[in-house]
Amino acid sequence: MKGTIKRIHEFTESEISELYELMDEFYENMDPEIFRHDFYAKDYCLVLEKNGRIVGFTTQKLMTVNVDGKEVKGVFSGDTIIHRDYWGDTELFRSFAQYWFRYAEEHGELWWFLICKGYKTYRILPLFWREFYPCRSCETPRDIKKIIDAYASALYPDEYNQTTGVVEYKSVKDCLRKGVADIDERRMKNKDIAFFCQVNPNWENGNDLVCLAKFDRSLLRRHMPELLFNGE
């Protein structure tokens, strides 16, 4: 498999349709016009291909928010999906990490602005990072909470709940289809998954937990730099 990141304006209509079809296979309540509007609101899209077929993608938007008079820069991840045939493969995230960690090293401090409507996305954080928020092991520091509130409020001014740290949508929202990321008793034994359910109890309705991590290799777990950047 090969991951390639391109600017949004470089995508053809045919490719955008293929991206939508992949999302529609795994998400309910999809709307092609809303998808297209959200897609064009982003700056980049990372596509994962296998034998000439798109099997995964994730969109990104560069953002700057003001926190206590300081500009804080980050990259916001939008629609993200990988075909079930490739669940467990790390190539999509490896390509994502290689691009944005390098970007941060070239352009200065950069945060990952992330929203999670399912445990699979949330688990990327404890799997790869030693330090991320929110997490089950500690309270979110006040300065970090301010960054989270700033970018979430900029993106979802009418639906972000600063108290819960969750985007609580007022209208019908796309959500994962049954069987895509179900949480049963076995999965609830995982403390990170249990924490995700605790802080985002209505995730099944499409609500998003707002999360934050820094693109800093020193904050990754011990063997992750070798896994992510080997052969870079």
pLDDT tens-digit map of 129-167: 999 999 999 999 999 999 999 999 999 999 999 999 999
Note the pLDDT of residue 180.
56
- Confidence grade of residue 213 (pLDDT, cut at 50, 70, 90): very high
Three-state secondary structure call for residue 137 = coil
Query: Which residues on neighbouring strands pair with residue 75, listed in sequence order?
Result: 62, 112
Report the percent of the chain where pLDDT is more than 70. Answer: 93
Q: Which of 6-20, 172-186, 202-216 has the least mean pLDDT?
A: 172-186
Q: Residue 30: which pLDDT band, with cuts at 50, 70 and 90?
A: confident
The token pair at 220 is 């990754």
Q: Which CATH architecture group holds 2-229?
A: 3-Layer(aba) Sandwich (3.40)
Mean pLDDT score of the chain: 89
Q: Is 67 exposed, middle or buried (0-12, 13-18, 19+ CB in 10 A)?
A: middle
Tokens of 29: 């309540």
pLDDT of residue 172: 54
Identify the H or E element spanning 63: strand 53-67
Q: Could you count the other beta carbons within 10 Å of the beta carbon of residue 68?
A: 9
Asked if the model's pLDDT at residue 174 lies above 70, the reply is no
CA distances from 34 to 29, 109, 114, 126 (A): 10, 32, 20, 31
Note whether 210 and 148 are within 8 A (CB).
yes
Q: Which residue in the block uniquely carries the two structure tokens 């403390």?
A: 191
Please, which residues have CB within 8 angstroms of residue 50's CB and are 6 or more apart in sequence? 1, 2, 86
Q: Is the dihedral of CA 121, 178, 51, 78 positive or negative?
A: negative
- Tens digit of pLDDT for each residue in 72-107? 999 999 888 888 787 777 888 899 999 999 999 999
pLDDT class for 2, splitting at 50, 70, 90? Answer: confident
Strand 111-116 and strand 70-82: the pairing is parallel
- Cβ atoms of 29 and 172 within 8 Å: the answer is yes
**How much is the pTM?**
0.89
% residues pLDDT > 90 (the chain): 63
The pLDDT of residue 17 is 94
**Would you state the pLDDT for residue 184?**
64
Label residue 73 exposed, middle or buried (CB < 10 Å: 0-12, 13-18, 19+): middle
Strand partners, 47: 4, 57
Alpha carbon distance, N-terminus to C-terminus of the chain? 15
Name the residue ranges covered by the structural domains of the chain: 2-229
Q: Alpha-carbon distance 192 to 190, whole Å? A: 6
Judge whether residue 224 has pLDDT over 60: yes
